[in-house]
Structure 1
Amino acid sequence: MRSIVLTKGVPDFSEGAVSFDEDGHLERGKTPTVMNPNDGFALEAALQTRVRHGGHVSGMSMGPPSYAEVLQEAMESVYTDDSYLLTDRELAASDTWATSITLSAGLETYMEEVGDIDLVFAGFKSADGETGQTGPQTAWAMGWPIVTHVIALEIDPDERRLRAKRLVEGDVDEIETVEAPLPCFVVTDPEFEPTYRKASHRLTHKRLRAETEQRAADHEEHLTTWGHEDLNLDPEYIGLDGSPTIVSSVDPIPKAPSERDATMVDPDDPDGMTEVLDQLQPYAAGGD
């Protein structure tokens, strides 16, 4: 069973150093980057599939060279075997359409050079764009079936079919079970939780974790980098030139107004501190 997990880097908004150019495009090379949180669920689904059925899991990302660190994080957290980074200047400023075209080319190149793919896992949406388009668009470009909002899945290797439970329009109260032939795309929902019920699965999970420690430390030895020429992509159909999305403006997110009043108390004021303790005491005692 051979799987690919599509993951990306997103701006680390907690650092407060997000940089945009004069046209409103995010300058990823100047912005601290972390792995997209929703991709973690896709990685866990791929790991669960590998633990249960064996095989190989690769991480793939499109972005600047710094995204190699994101792929290394994927290897450290869910034990991917190797990584593939699609990167060069011609790919810069891609919207979801151009990104999907590039990723589909990456998957096709992978199949030509490495081997057939059974499953491609993708996160629900990214923390920066939140469009949820890249996974479905890449599946469309490949001509493969796709199952979205997946919260649990089973694979029948002999029948080469996926059976999955998915939320209906993101509603946690309504779940449907669907089937799809392999190869196919799986877009995991944040409600996805991996399960390892058998002792053999837990032992395999432990073994994979031990094997990955050294591999992740030498991540560069397991990283393959492809540019647009390696992917046989025309520059007119990728990057900014191949992106039909137009950014009209970028507005800062306003700070939410405070809904609480703050009372300043001098710690050297005995009466003030006594009043604070009197107010907190009911909560410490388990009151409401």
Structure 2
Amino acid sequence: MRSIVLTKGVPDFSEGAVSFDEDGHLERGKTPTVMNPNDGFAAEAALQTRVRHGGHVSAMSMGPPGYAEVLEEAMESVYADDSYLLSDRELAASDTWATAITLSAGLEKYQEEVGEIDLVFAGFKSADGETGQTGPQTSWALDWPIVTHVIALDIDPDERLLRAKRLVEGDVDEIETVEAPLPCFVVTDPEFEPTYRKASHRLSHKRLRSETQGRASDHEEHLTTWSQEDLNLDPEYIGLDGSPTIVSSVDPIPKAPSEREATMIEFDDDDGMGQVLGEMQPFAASGGDGP
């Protein structure tokens, strides 16, 4: 069983990590880049598949050289054997369509040089663009079947079938069970939860985690970088020139107040502490959210 996990680097939107200019625009150069959070569910699905059925797992991303750190994070998440970075200035400013063309070329080159792929896992949308298009578009470019909003899955190796439970149009109240032949794409839903019911699975999970710790510490030894020339991509179909998306406008991100209003109360201020208790009591009684 050979699987690929597609991942993307996105700005770290956690509090205090994001940097904005004076107009409220995101400053990517000053904001740390992390693995797209939704790709974590794809990594968990790939890891579960490997624990249950064995095989080889690779992580792949398209982006600048700095994305090597994102792939290192992905390796630690999915316990990947190796990783592949598609990186070239010619790929800059790609929209989802040009990104899908590049990723499909990377997957085809992987099959030619490394081995046939059984499954490709992708998160259902990125934290910065939130289009949810790249996984399905990459699947279309390869003409592979795709199953989206997956919340549980397993593989029948003999029949070469994926069996999965998926949310219908993302509705947690409606679930359907589907089958798809391998190779195929899997787009995981945030409701996905891996399961390791057998003792052998839990032992395998522990062993893989231990093996990955050593591998991730020397991540660059397991990283392959492919350029636009390596992928034999036509410049007219990649980067800005190959991106049909037209951005009509960009709205600045509202800046949070630099300071929060706070009332300082000393611990020996009986009236002040009484006021604090009065503010908290309604929420403690009702179980509602605090102020």
Corresponding residue for residue 57 of structure 1: 57
Q: Provide the TM-score with structure 1 as the length reference.
A: 0.91
Corresponding residue for residue 103 of structure 2: 103
What secondary structure, in the 3-state scheme, does the structure 2 residue paired with 1:13 have? coil
Matches within 5 A, 1:160-179: 160-179=160-179
Contact 1:150 1:189 in 2 (8 A): yes
Corresponding residue for residue 249 of structure 1: 249
Corresponding residue for residue 187 of structure 1: 187
Matches within 5 A, 1:194-213: 194-213=194-213
What is the distance in 2 between the residues matched to 1:232 and 1:98? Answer: 14
Contact 1:265 1:273 in 2 (8 A): no
Corresponding residue for residue 19 of structure 2: 17
What secondary structure, in the 3-state scheme, does the structure 2 residue paired with 1:60 have? strand
Q: CA deviation at 1:78?
A: 2.2
Corresponding residue for residue 264 of structure 1: 263
What is the distance in 2 between the residues matched to 1:11 and 1:279? Answer: 36
Contact 2:120 2:186 in 1 (8 A): yes
Contact 1:29 1:66 in 2 (8 A): no
Q: CA deviation at 1:28?
A: 5.0
* Cα distance, 1:211–1:244 mapped onto 2, change above 3 Å: same
What secondary structure, in the 3-state scheme, does the structure 1 residue paired with 2:120 have? strand
Q: CA deviation at 1:281?
A: 5.5
* Cα distance, 1:220–1:174 mapped onto 2, change above 3 Å: same
Deviations 1:117-145 (A, max 9, x none): 00000001000010000000000000000
Query: In the alignment, residue 70 of structure 1 is paired with which amino acid?
Result: V
Q: CA deviation at 1:270?
A: 3.5
Matches within 5 A, 1:33-48: 33-48=33-48
Corresponding residue for residue 276 of structure 1: 276
* Cα distance, 1:248–1:220 mapped onto 2, change above 3 Å: same
Q: CA deviation at 1:265?
A: 4.8
Contact 1:3 1:118 in 2 (8 A): yes
RMSD: 2.2
What is the distance in 1 between the residues matched to 2:95 and 2:126? Answer: 12
**Structure 2, gaps ≥5 residues long:** none
Query: In the alignment, residue 96 of structure 1 is paired with which amino acid?
Result: T
What is the distance in 1 between the residues matched to 2:27 and 2:227? Answer: 19
Matches within 5 A, 1:91-240: 91-240=91-240
Contact 2:18 2:31 in 1 (8 A): no
Q: CA deviation at 1:247?
A: 1.4
**Structure 1, gaps ≥5 residues long:** none
Contact 2:149 2:167 in 1 (8 A): yes
* Cα distance, 1:205–1:155 mapped onto 2, change above 3 Å: same
What is the distance in 1 between the residues matched to 2:29 and 2:81? Answer: 26
Contact 1:18 1:32 in 2 (8 A): no
Deviations 1:164-203 (A, max 9, x none): 0000000000000010000000000000000001000000
Contact 1:236 1:242 in 2 (8 A): yes
What is the distance in 1 between the residues matched to 2:8 and 2:286? Answer: 45
Aligned pair count reads: 279
What secondary structure, in the 3-state scheme, does the structure 2 residue paired with 1:211 have? helix
Q: What is the aligned-residue identity percentage?
A: 84
What is the distance in 2 between the residues matched to 1:287 and 1:245? Answer: 49
Q: CA deviation at 1:154?
A: 1.1
What secondary structure, in the 3-state scheme, does the structure 1 residue paired with 2:150 have? strand
Contact 2:11 2:18 in 1 (8 A): no
Moved more, 244-253 or 61-70: 244-253
Q: CA deviation at 1:231?
A: 0.3
Q: CA deviation at 1:233?
A: 0.3
Q: Provide the TM-score with structure 2 as the length reference.
A: 0.90
